[in-house]
Each structure stands twice: as structure tokens, then as C-alpha cells.
Amino acid sequence: MNRNSLIWMKEFLKEDNLKILKHLKENRIPLIDYGKLEEFYKDVEAKGIKIITYFDNEYPEKLKRIYNPPLVLYVKGNIDLLYEKSIGIVGSRKCTAYGRNISTNFAKILAEKYVVVSGMAFGIDAAAHKGALKSGKTIAVLGSGVDVAYPRSNVKLYEDILNNGGCIVSEYRPGTPATPFRFPERNRIIVGLSEGIIVVEAAKKSGSLITARLAVESGIDVYAIPGDITRKSSEGTNELIYNGAIPLISEKVLKEIFNIEENKKTKRIENEDDLKIIMAIDNGYNTFEGIVSYTRLSTPLVLQRLTILVMNKIIFEENGRYHLGG
């Protein structure tokens, strides 16, 4: 059993930590049987799932901004995306063609610079993920176990996200089925991982408005797409704007607000190793180890080229992670 397992177990067994004990009980994670705990870890790892607890250094700091942050995260795919700048896109499952198109187009634009976060539900969520995959990376936060693609019609989308360098996140134990009460719970994780929340289309009682409220309570900016005032599908978003949400009235405004412009620096790079490194960073592999793994270049060579790229202000380093645009 690794060190993190023991730390996790030690913290979970504190009698005064009722929230953690409740999590263990609800997810049927063994409390005292260390053999079963180790078996659980091995089974999860065999499925390509990473476990991150609140007590680990890998736990995203930005998640701690929200009320009741998840004590455990199960992550499948590119874990580096959890530390990137991200924008959440949410909205109605029963969306109009207008809402679907806006979600797809805006996500495509945002993914040029940000990771797009959404919930992989029908409608706006699915459109956001698909749009993001056209130009960048996306994170899907599930209301089920990280290995349970829900709805079933989104199985291909689930696979596309993973196959294109994205990641799937859940606070629920692998194998946990999707149930209605879990969707509002997962919304707070979408908020916590995002620098801003965009509500594309929402009726007056849409769950997306809960997400917007959670964002406001966490000090995170809320944006909304204006809609037809005669349609019930736009009542929620129009009311958000009336109450102070920032209106995104065009693609031009979206680009101005989020400072998105064509990245021309990559075009000037001629060294093939540098191009591989830049591609790795652009694909979300922004730690030193991630870059070495992605590029398959030697460790000394990657270190040398990173130093040169930083000196030339093609990339910059912050807290051990590399980003494009020095």
C-alpha cells in the first residue's frame, strides 16, 4: 500500500471527520479492512483511474474555493488538465438548435486558449464538449462513476474525450450509476474547476441556474447568452443577465472578454524537438514529466529545449508547469 493510501486511511478514520465517514459509508469503501482497501486501489488503477484525495498535493487548489469541495476525485485521462485555466459551459438538456449551435461554436473558440468543462449531459453539455474537441481539450464531470458513461447515447463522446487528450472526473466510486440527485452535486465541481461559468440556454427552473448561483457564491464570474424573450428556454438566461450576469452577445465579444487571438508563435518554430514540446504543452501535457512522456525525447534534451523556449519567451513556466506564450 502506498503512502497516500495510508494518509487517506488515517484521515478518513478520524472520528470527528463526519463528512469523510459519510462519504465512505455512502460509497461502501471499507473502513478497517486494509486488504480490501488495497484490493480496491489495485482494481481502480487497473481501469486506468487515478484517485486524488483532498489531502494529496495533486488536489486542484481551485476546487478548495467552493463550499463542500469533494473529498475524493476519481480521474480518468489527462490529469494535467485539472490545473489548466478552464471555462465551464452549462445549459439545458432540452435545448434549441440555437442553443446547441452557440454552445458548439463558443466552446470551439474558448478551447483555443482554455480547457472547456461541462457535465456530458444531453443538449448544451454535449455540444460544448464536441465543440471543444474541434480545437482543444475538455473535461467532463460526471454524476456517476468515472467509468460509467451516461447517458448511454454519449458513449462515443466519452471515448472521444479520452482519445483526444481530455479527462473524465467524478467524486463517486467507479461503477456508481447516475441518479437525479447526483447531477446538482456534480455541478459544484464544474464550478470549482472553472475560472468562469457560461450559461448558454436555460429555462426558469433549469439546474444550470443552480450552477450559476454556486459560481456567484464562490466568487466566480457568470456569463449568459441572451435568448428570444418569447421562449421559455431562454427565461433563465435572460433573467441571469437582468440580475447582473455578463452578456455574451457575439463571438467578437467572447474573444475580447477572454482575450482569445490566434497563436502565431508556433508558426515561427523550426526546430522539430521544440515543435514536439509545444505540441505537448498545447495538448495539456504541461509538467516536465508529461512533456517527456508525450514527446518521447530524452530528459536532458527536453530540459535543454525548455530552457531555450523560456528564454525566447515562446513558453513560460509557472509553479512547475509550462504554458504557451511567454
pLDDT tens-digit profile of 69-119? 999 999 999 999 999 999 999 999 999 999 999 999 999 999 999 999 999
Higher per-residue confidence, 184 vs 10: 184
pLDDT at 267: 46
Dist. CA 132–CA 324, nearest whole Å: 18
Where exactly are the structural domains of the chain? 3-46, 80-257, 265-324
Contact (Cβ atoms closer than 8 angstroms) between residue 112 and residue 139:
no
Answer whether 276's CB lies under 8 Å from 287's CB.
Answer: no
Q: Label residue 15 by pLDDT band (50, 70, 90).
A: very low
Stretch (H or E) spanning 138:
strand 138-141
**Interacting residues of 253 by C-beta distance below 8 A, sequence separation 6+:** 247
On the question of pLDDT at 10 being above 50, the answer is no
**Which DSSP category does 280 fall into?**
H
* C-alpha 19: how far from chain center: 24
**Which pLDDT score is estimated for 29?**
58
- pLDDT class of 19 with cuts at 50, 70, 90: low
H or E segment to which residue 186 belongs: helix 182-192
Whether the predicted pLDDT of 136 surpasses 50: yes
Tell me phi and psi for residue 118, to 5 degrees. Answer: -155, -175
Q: 16 pLDDT band (50/70/90 cuts)?
A: very low
Lowest mean pLDDT among 163-177, 206-220, 307-321: 307-321
Helix (H), strand (E) at residue 63: none
Task: Look at residue 37 in the predicted model and tell me its pLDDT.
Answer: 72
Q: What share of the chain is helix, strand, coil (3-state, %, to 5)?
A: 45, 15, 40
- The reply to whether the predicted model has a pTM over 0.85 is no
Contact in structure between 74 and 96 (CB atoms under 8 Å): no
pLDDT 10s digits, 170-207: 999 999 998 878 888 999 999 999 999 999 999 998 88
Q: What is d(CA 179, CA 161) in angstroms, rounded to the nearest whole number?
A: 22
- Sequence-distant (6+) residues with CB within 8 A of 117 are 86, 87, 88, 89, 138, 139, 141, 190, 193, 194
Q: For domain 265-324, which CATH number applies: 3.40.50.300, 3.30.300.30, 1.10.10.10, 3.40.50.720? A: 1.10.10.10
What is the percent of the chain where pLDDT is above 70?
87
Q: What's the pLDDT score for residue 283?
A: 86
pLDDT tens across 145-163, in order?
A: 999 999 899 999 999 999 9
> Across-strand partners of 323?
316
What does DSSP assign to residue 218? T
| Assigned architecture for domain 80-257 | 3-Layer(aba) Sandwich (3.40)
Q: Please choose, from the candidates 48, 4, 53, the residue with its C-alpha nearest in 3D space to the C-alpha of residue 27.
A: 53
pLDDT tier for residue 33 given thresholds of 50, 70 and 90: low
Interacting residues of 138 by C-beta distance below 8 A, sequence separation 6+: 107, 111, 115, 116, 117, 118, 128, 129, 132, 161, 166
pLDDT category, 232, cuts 50, 70, 90? very high
CB–CB of 308/275 below 8 Å?
no
Q: How far does Cα 271 stand from its chain's mean position?
A: 32
* 320/166 Cα distance (integer angstroms): 21
CA distance 166 to 139: 6
CA 168 to CA 98: how far, in whole Å?
27
